[in-house]
Amino acid sequence: MNATNGDPISAFFGLSEQSGAERAVAEFFARRPVLIAGEGKRLLALPVEGLDSQRLAEFSALCAPIAPRVVITARRAQAIGLKATMPVALHLGADPDAATILRLVADAKTSHPAGASAAGPLASAAIELAKLSQGLPAVLVADIVAGRALDHRIVSVGAEAVARFADDIIESLAIASKAAVPLNSGARADFVVFRDAMGGSQVAIIVGKPDFSEPVLVRLHSACLTGDVFGSRRCDCGDQLNLALKFLEETGGGVVLYLAQEGRGLGLANKMRTYQMQDDGLDTVDANTTLGFDDDERDYRVAARMLQMLQCDRVVLLTNNPAKLEGLAKSGIKITGRMAIEAPINSDNRRYLTAKAARAGHRLNHLANSLAEASDAERDVTALAP
């Protein structure tokens, strides 16, 4: 982080412009309002995540006489029937209630208010803060007129600092600790924990003794509590992790980067929301976008940074996802090869895997073979029917 030049006290406490963005993210985690400034304007923003009637009333009183608007992403706007390419501000009318607002930003089927307008760059920064705090990608906002004083406890941040925040967090990554860990398979692995300026943790698991002067087998694995820990059949994550570890052990070693990117970067709470939408009929892609996110919110620059810090700049990637290849390559990692990870297909994850292959471009040849076999079997049964 860039400290304030010439001021040792500010430097010691990290009182830089970017520290304002860190504090703003922390305030959104705590579901408190933040003042966003830029282009001679000020916008008061409150995350919709965790909204209740008391918090709505307090925010409305803080904004008075300006009525709050709710800002949603372009993806969410499209899902509720609006044409949009940028975040949209919806006018709520008189005395909106918290339940109505939550339905507006999170229900799969809902109508939109009559009044809508382009949200502007300050509101877009507020949406980014909401995503960084892993909440719903929606905020309540109100313009603050010039000269109006607000409570000094409200954190203020520049929109430009929010825009640079992701870059600065990646640059702040540092190795915090490391230790050898014996695995159930009998192999030993070195766990290297990386931490960033916000306290987020990512882990590199170095299996065996890979030669970092040569291309190294690498698996980028996004954390999946349901699949990795509890063996969920809704996805193939746990199976992919186990297959990758086994393969690295059998081939002399490699690296698994265990990334804090639950739910393709949505966070655990939002992942559960998309699961509910899938239960109601949407596929995994439409569930993410209906909630207001991109299909995949992950940023693979953090993985590239970790590999560079491990002195690993040439890799053979264990993945079915072309986006991982592209993300690492754009960040300076040379991809010398790709190897597929073909996890078991079951009745609970078949629809999920089909959507990943058909709509997100995942290379799942074994799925195509499985679907073909199922189709052949169905035709055989039909032919035998009297």
Query: What residues are labeled active site?
Result: 296, 298
Tell me the torsion sign for CA atoms 160, 165, 170, 171: positive
Cα distances (angstroms) measured from residue 213 to each of 202, 210, 308, 312, 314: 23, 9, 12, 8, 8
How far is residue 225's CA from residue 285's CA, in Å, rounded to a whole number? 20
Q: What are the φ/ψ torsions at residue 135 (nearest 5 degrees)?
A: -100, -175
Contact 122, 159 (CB under 8 A): yes
197-200 contacts: CB < 8 A, separation 24 or more? 197/1, 197/22, 197/168, 197/169, 197/172, 198/22, 198/25, 198/26, 198/169, 200/169, 200/260
Contact 284, 278 (CB under 8 A): yes
Contact 140, 52 (CB under 8 A): no
How far is residue 328's CA from residue 321's CA, in Å, rounded to a whole number? 12
